[in-house]
Amino acid sequence: MSAGLSSTEVETLRVLHIDGCGAVVGITEHCSQAHDRVAVSLRTVIADALRFDAHVLVFAHNHPSGDPEPSRIDIDTTRAIARIAAPLGIRVHDHVVTGGTRSFSFRSAGLI
Structural domains in the chain plus CATH codes: 5-105 (3.40.140.10)
H-helix or E-strand spanning residue 83: helix 72-85
- How far apart are alpha carbons 89 and 96 in whole angstroms? 21
For 73-103, write each residue's pLDDT tens digit: 899 999 999 999 999 999 999 999 999 999 9
pTM recorded for the entire structure: 0.85
- How far apart are alpha carbons 64 and 51 in whole angstroms? 30
